[in-house]
């Protein structure tokens, strides 16, 4: 069963909503707003979890009746957030794979890629985008390629 993925965000350590931003049906403005809200949510929950569960605890996901948000944070404070259908199983591995196989391979190792993605310019990295698209292939046709536009928080 393919899992329906609604959108995917990467935030760098400065909380710039950078990275690949994609959404199935999106207007760019809404996307920007959502990125801000998602970052705020994820950031608050992550802090709350650390406060309650101790510093070694990590926020994994939350679910509402409409969607599920999966979260993965790298040791370098890069934050991945993916919104899927609510019934989806843990996507932690997938996020981890995206980090290892796509981000590290195509963005970090790319000498032309900036070290920091400032002002929410987005990643704009063709190889990375292609890799993401490939991952999506099993997904439903409704998942169009959204704007690669990135929102800054």
Partner 1 sequence: MGGRAVIALLIINKAGGLIYNRTFGEGLNQLNSNDYLVLAGTFHGVHAITARLNPLREHQAAHYYAQQQQYQHSASGSLGGASSSGGGGGGGSQGGPLPSRPEPPSGLEVMETENFRLQCFNTQTGTKFLLFTDTMQANVDVAMRKVYELYADYVMKNPFYQLEMPVRCDMFDRKLNSYIREINNSR
Site residues (vs partner 1, CB under 8 A): 6-7, 23-25, 30, 34, 37-38, 40-41, 44-45, 48-49, 51-54, 56-67, 69, 83
Q: How far is the CB of 150 from partner 1 (least distance, A)?
A: 18
Can you give the length of the chain in residues? 153
Closer to partner 1 by Cβ: residue 25 or 109? 25
- Tally of CB atoms within 10 A around 36: 16
Q: What is the largest CA-CA distance in the chain?
A: 43
Q: How far is the CB of 11 from partner 1 (least distance, A)?
A: 15
Closer to partner 1 by Cβ: residue 67 or 113? 67
Q: How far is the CB of 82 from partner 1 (least distance, A)?
A: 11
Q: How far is the CB of 53 from partner 1 (least distance, A)?
A: 4
Closer to partner 1 by Cβ: residue 57 or 121? 57
**Residue pair 122/148 in contact by the 8 Å Cβ criterion:** yes
What is the Cα–Cα distance from 43 to 79, expressed in whole angstroms? 9
What is the Cα–Cα distance from 102 to 81, expressed in whole angstroms? 15
**Residue pair 10/20 in contact by the 8 Å Cβ criterion:** yes
Closer to partner 1 by Cβ: residue 82 or 107? 82
Q: Which tokens belong to 94?
A: 């997938």
Closer to partner 1 by Cβ: residue 70 or 106? 70
Q: How far is the CB of 36 from partner 1 (least distance, A)?
A: 10
Among 31, 37, 34, 84, which Cα is nearest to 61's?
A: 84
């Amino acid at each position: 069963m393919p899992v329906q993925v609604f959108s995917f965000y990467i935030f760098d350590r400065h909380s710039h909503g950078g990275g690949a931003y994609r959404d199935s049906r999106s207007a760019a403005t809404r996307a920007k707003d959502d990125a801000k809200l998602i970052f705020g949510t994820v950031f608050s929950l992550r802090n709350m979890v650390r406060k309650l569960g101790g510093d070694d605890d990590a926020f994994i996901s939350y679910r509402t009746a409409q969607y599920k948000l999966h979260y993965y944070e790298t040791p370098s404070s890069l934050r991945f957030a993916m919104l899927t259908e609510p019934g989806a199983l843990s996507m932690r591995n997938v996020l981890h794979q995206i980090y290892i196989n796509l981000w590290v391979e195509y963005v970090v190792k790319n000498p032309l890629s900036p070290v920091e993605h400032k002002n929410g310019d987005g990643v704009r990295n063709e190889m990375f985008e292609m890799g993401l698209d490939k991952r999506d292939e099993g997904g439903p046709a409704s998942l169009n390629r959204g704007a690669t536009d990135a929102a800054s928080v």
